[in-house]
Amino acid sequence: MNGGISIMRDYFRIAEDGSGSYRMLAILRWVMVLIFVSFGIQKFTPQSAHGIVQYISNSPFVWWLSVFGERGEAYVLGTIELTTAALLAVGAFIPVISALGSLLATGTFIITWSFFFTTPGVVKWSFSTDPIAWNLAGEFLYKDIVLLCVCLVLFLASLSRMRTSAEGRT
């Protein structure tokens, strides 16, 4: 068993085991854990469940969640977000889980950020003096590009040993 962990550490990496500026990525991990826990818990409230209906029903990626009903679709998303938080937290100790958690987090924010473009009325594109105008929902969704990038950085950083090992063989 210990040999398997050693092999995994040859291919995957976690910030908590790093040094220098790489170790600072651990801050991003724990901030993302906090964000996913808080967003996940919110999905179990009636207000949040009602608030995400417009995004889900217009999404080409998660429209099918509506088969669970308003509360059910929120419960599914909340469970995914809490699972993502748990994977990111455990990933601080197990490198392959770090890669898995950050990949799931990246996928979550890709889908969430797509709502910016797929939800009617969020953005109004024009050639006027205000070429991109969005409402409060648009402002809320637009910031997710930063969270998407944070998760992508965590994912790529967790694979750096794998890339380094592959480059060393060429």
pLDDT per residue as tens digits for the range 8-26: 555 555 555 555 556 678 8
Across the chain, the runs of DSSP E, i.e. the strands, are: 123-125, 132-134
Strand-pair partners of 125 = 132
Q: What is the pLDDT of residues 86-144, one digit of tens each?
A: 999 998 888 889 899 999 999 999 999 899 889 888 877 666 666 566 666 777 788 88
Rg (CA), the chain: 19
| CA dist., res. 116 & res. 94, Å (int) | 34
**Which pLDDT tens digit goes with each residue over 31-68?**
999 999 999 999 999 999 999 999 999 999 999 999 99
In a domain, 149, yes or no: yes
Structural domains counted in the chain:
1
CA distance 104 to 154: 11
- In this prediction, residue 13 carries a pLDDT of 56
For position 134, what pLDDT does the model report?
A: 65
The answer as to whether 54 is a domain residue is yes
Residue 170 lies in a domain: no
Report d(CA 101, CA 150) in Å as an integer.
Answer: 12
Tell me if 139 is assigned to some domain. yes
pTM over 0.85: no
Find the domain containing 81 and state its range.
Answer: 2-165
